[in-house]
Structure 1
Amino acid sequence: MIDFLFLDKNICYNCKKNEIVAHFLCKDCLKKLDYVANKFSIENYDCHAVYFYNEVMRKLIADYKFNRNTSLAKVFSSIVYDYARINNLFDCDYILPSPSSKSTLNNRGFDHIKMITDHFIDDVACEYLMDFRKIKNTQAQHNLGKEDRALNLIDAFSIEKDLTEKSVLLIDDLITTGNTAMEIIKVLEKNNVKEVIVLAITSERRIN
């Protein structure tokens, strides 16, 4: 995995040229991101997205997930942590990083969402929702049409845990149709979850 920890700690993790001002990014790189702090609904559940999925954000996520530039986990972790803290989203029982299948984890070499949440989990009162698994190897959602995306995720997730009166903060990198979040929520509902809130770093939805 690529890790640019040899860089000066004050240098932007994206351009690797300018001084950091926030989220391990410099002023110029931050300006290229489209901050929306968007809140919308996926069926009856509240969903938050911090940034719009523009070209710069697309490249950042691709560099992290597919080029294995794991230093960017700090960038995304800082974004998620600040937004959730300011909006009181950590007032929950459990944090659930959107899980990947064993096949994806083996191919990628790391759990990209959990690597993000690992950076702040010790600083919040909630804990991980353990034993939630993706048990089905699915196709990449971005390669599929709208109907196929929904079918692709049926019976993909599993957990055996009583969640009565419990609340869960589901964290993911990108929300497009919301199918992944809803399939996860369906499993949580079967286990009597009280509340689920979804938080994504970025989304293709620009307005509320």
Structure 2
Amino acid sequence: MIDFLFLDEGLCFSCKKERVYKYKLCKDCLDKLDYIGNKFDLSGNTCYSLYFYNDFMKRLIADYKFSRNTSLKEVFSDMIYRFLVDKNLTDFDYILASPSSKKTVNKRGFDHINLIVDDFSNKLGIRKLDEFKKIKNTKSQHTLNRLERGENLKGAFKLDKDIKGSRILLIDDLITTGNTALEIIKELKYMGASEVVTLAICSESSIN
């Protein structure tokens, strides 16, 4: 795993040129993001999305996930933390980072959502649900149609822990059709969770 080091930590974590304004980003980079901060229903479950998945957000996430600019975890962590505190969304028993398979983590070199959650869960004083795992190597969702996406994820997740009556906050980077979140929620509720609230850093317009 590669951590990008800055000669001046006061510089934007994205462009690395201008001074930090908010969320470790400069004002110019922050202005390129399309904030929505909306709440919507996902098949009877509450879901929040912070930003629209525009071109700049796509580049920001790709830089983090695929170019291994792991310092960007602080950008996404700050965004989520401030939103949760501002909206008073902190009354949860567990936080769950949407899990990747071992194959994906080994290929990428790090668990990208888990790093983000690590960065803010302690500040909120909420335990992570580390026992929830992805046990199936699935195909990339973006390569499949809507029906295939649902089939692709069946039986992909497993939890070996008693969570009866627990309220759980599920964190992911992107929500499109919602199939991944719904499959995770299905397993959590089967294991006894009373409520699962999903928060995605960004979403496509079709889900809102």
Distance of 1:55 and 1:129 partners within structure 2: 32
Indicate the residue corresponding to 1:50 in structure 2: 50
Q: Which residue of 2 aligns with 1:139?
A: 139
Distance 1:134 1:14 in 2: 30
2:195 corresponds in structure 1 to 195
Runs of 4+ in 1 over 6 A off after TM superposition: none
C-alpha distance in structure 1 between counterparts of 2:4 and 2:105, whole Å: 21
AA of the residue aligned to 1:47: C
Normalised to the residue count of structure 1, the TM-score between the two structures is: 0.96
Please list the CA deviations of residues 152-187 of structure 1 after superposition, one character each: whole Å capped at 9, or x if unmatched: 100000012222211000000000000000000000
Specify the code of the residue in structure 1 equivalent to 2:127: E
Listed as ranges, the gaps of 5+ residues in structure 2 are none
| Identical-residue share of aligned pairs (%) | 55
Structure 2 equivalent of residue 101 of structure 1: 101
1:180 corresponds to which residue? 180
For 2:207 and 2:22, how far apart are their aligned partners in 1?
A: 24
The alignment yields a C-alpha RMSD, in angstroms, of 1.3
Q: Which moved more, 1:46-55 or 1:80-89?
A: 80-89
SS in 2 for 1:5: coil
TM-score, scaled to structure 2: 0.96
Q: Which residue number corresponds to residue 36 of structure 1?
A: 36
- For the 8 Å contact 1:166–1:193, the answer to whether it is kept is yes
Residue type of the alignment partner of 1:41: D
Equivalenced residues, count: 208
> Structure 1 counterpart of 2:44, which letter?
N
Match for 2:19: what amino acid?
E
Contact between 2:176 and 2:207, CA under 8 Å: does it hold in 1? no
- Evaluate the alpha carbon distance shift between residue 207 and residue 149 of structure 1 in structure 2; reply closer, same or farther with a 3 A threshold: closer
> Quick one: distance in 1 between partners of 2:158 and 2:94?
16
Q: List per-residue Cα deviations over 1:46-73 (Å, max 9, x = no partner).
A: 1000000000000110111111110111
Report the CA distance shift for 1:66/1:207 in structure 2 as closer, same or farther (over 3 A): closer
Offset at residue 145 of structure 1 (A): 1.2
1:20 counterpart residue number: 20
1:207 deviates by 8.1
SS in 1 for 2:201: strand
Alignment partners' CA distance in 2, 1:176 and 1:132: 22
